[in-house]
Amino acid sequence: MYCQQGKFYLDPWSKVDHAIISHGHADHARWGMKHYLCHTDSKAILKQRLGKDLSIETMPYNKPRTINGVAVSFHPAGHVIGSAQIRLEYKGRVEVFSGDYKTQPDFITTPFEPVKCHSFITESTFGLPIYRWKSEDAIQKELHNWIGYNQSQNRTSVFVGYSLGKAQRIMSLIDGVDEVFVHRSIHNLNEAIASSGYKIPKTQLLTADFNKKDVEGKLIIVPPAMLDSRMFKRIPNAATAICSGWMQIRGNRRWRAADAGFAVSDHADWDGLISAIKATEAEEVYVTHGSQATFSRYLNEMSIEAYELKTEYGEEELANSETKTADA
């Protein structure tokens, strides 16, 4: 997405001079831009994922900066740490690019704030009425019950979720239950996030040659790419839980031979998408990133003028590009 007046791109895939980045996931923050502009809490994440030498400027939430006459500001998207909606204002016209967002508050991410605008570009990963998330407290209770049962059977509770976002969310949900071990890709991100002053729960590194006795009956978080690894197979008495919004519909027990599935998503559910879109009071809505065809039809039926916008953004819920950092 290109802003002609501002001469910058939003979450570009090709190498450009000026990129404004909504958040650190691989389908939004890519390598090769001359200059990056992202939220303050995303800086360490981008450096950790894309390289230490990036030229990055940052902005906090709700503090506009003028770029070639366009007022640019970030607003909390509630998706992952540092995630921002990008608001652009030029000659009185306001457009907002949501990036990925989640309206439901959790225990770790800065909560979503709706932004009024003329035109809103929304994601639609879970833009079908079947997707409705439980409250964070209810999810927490479910996870704790599952962990408690595993511990009574001397089993190790292994949570599977991608390194940026889901892992920290799971950490916040299981904080204080027992010792938590994390895979190196998660550990490195945690260190980056903590180094920028963001408070996250304490975890320990699951080293490649971990001692089975140390982790038996404890809690472990690994990224999806680890599922078939030798390291994964060494975990003693593992009970595996996939944490993803898709778990709401997939036969969770059978998915990649997991023992459990929890619908823990970093994206808005159906009600979240609708309420966020209504709150923008936008005259036109562009739908991208997921169920854009179905969801834009739904919006039009609700008398919200909506159009499909095809982009390359994909789901980082499970199938993702984390294999690079997840081979240990």
Residue 30 in contact with Zn ion, rule: CB under 5 A: no
Exposed e or buried b per residue across 1-30, where buried means at least 16 C-beta atoms within 10 angstroms of its C-beta: bebeebebbbbbeeebebbbbbbbbbbbbb
Q: How far is the CB of 102 from Zn ion (least distance, A)?
A: 10
Strand partners, 109: none
Which amino acid is residue 155, in one-letter code? R
Q: How far is the CB of 267 from Zn ion (least distance, A)?
A: 8
Q: Which is nearer to Zn ion, 100 or 106 (CB)?
A: 100
Q: Which is nearer to Zn ion, 25 or 43 (CB)?
A: 25
Residues that bind Zn ion (rule: CB under 5 A) add up to a total of 4
Q: Which is nearer to Zn ion, 70 or 277 (CB)?
A: 277
Q: Which is nearer to Zn ion, 49 or 218 (CB)?
A: 49
Q: How far is the CB of 25 from Zn ion (least distance, A)?
A: 4
Q: How far is the CB of 290 from Zn ion (least distance, A)?
A: 9
Answer whether 277's CB lies under 8 Å from 285's CB: yes
| Tokens coding 232 | 């994964």
Q: How far is the CB of 132 from Zn ion (least distance, A)?
A: 20
Tell me the three state secondary structure of residue 297: helix
Here's the x/- map for Zn ion, 48-67, by CB under 5 A: it reads as: --------------------
Which amino acid is residue 328, in one-letter code? A
Q: Which is nearer to Zn ion, 219 or 326 (CB)?
A: 326
Q: Which is nearer to Zn ion, 27 or 89 (CB)?
A: 27
Q: Which of 27, 41, 106, 269 binds Zn ion (CB under 5 A)?
A: 27
Site for Zn ion in 303-322 (CB under 5 A): 313
Q: What is the DSSP letter of 32?
A: -
Q: Which is nearer to Zn ion, 81 or 258 (CB)?
A: 81
Site for Zn ion in 65-124 (CB under 5 A): 100
Answer whether 48's CB lies under 8 Å from 192's CB: yes
Q: Which is nearer to Zn ion, 99 or 261 (CB)?
A: 99
Q: Which of 3, 20, 24, 25 binds Zn ion (CB under 5 A)?
A: 25
Q: Which residue from 38, 46, 29, 120 is spatially nearest to 84, judged by alpha carbons?
A: 38
Q: d(Cα 106, Cα 181) in Å, to the nearest integer? A: 21
Select the span of 19-27, 39-47, 114-122, 252-260 touching Zn ion (CB under 5 A). 19-27
Answer whether 292's CB lies under 8 Å from 104's CB: no
Tell me the three state secondary structure of residue 39: strand
- CA–chain centroid gap for 307, Å, is 24
Q: How far is the CB of 99 from Zn ion (least distance, A)?
A: 7
Q: How far is the CB of 289 from Zn ion (least distance, A)?
A: 6
Sign for the pseudo-dihedral over CA of 131, 75, 173, 188: positive
Q: d(Cα 263, Cα 3) in Å, to the nearest integer? A: 36
Report the interface residues with Zn ion, using CB under 5 A.
Answer: 25, 27, 100, 313
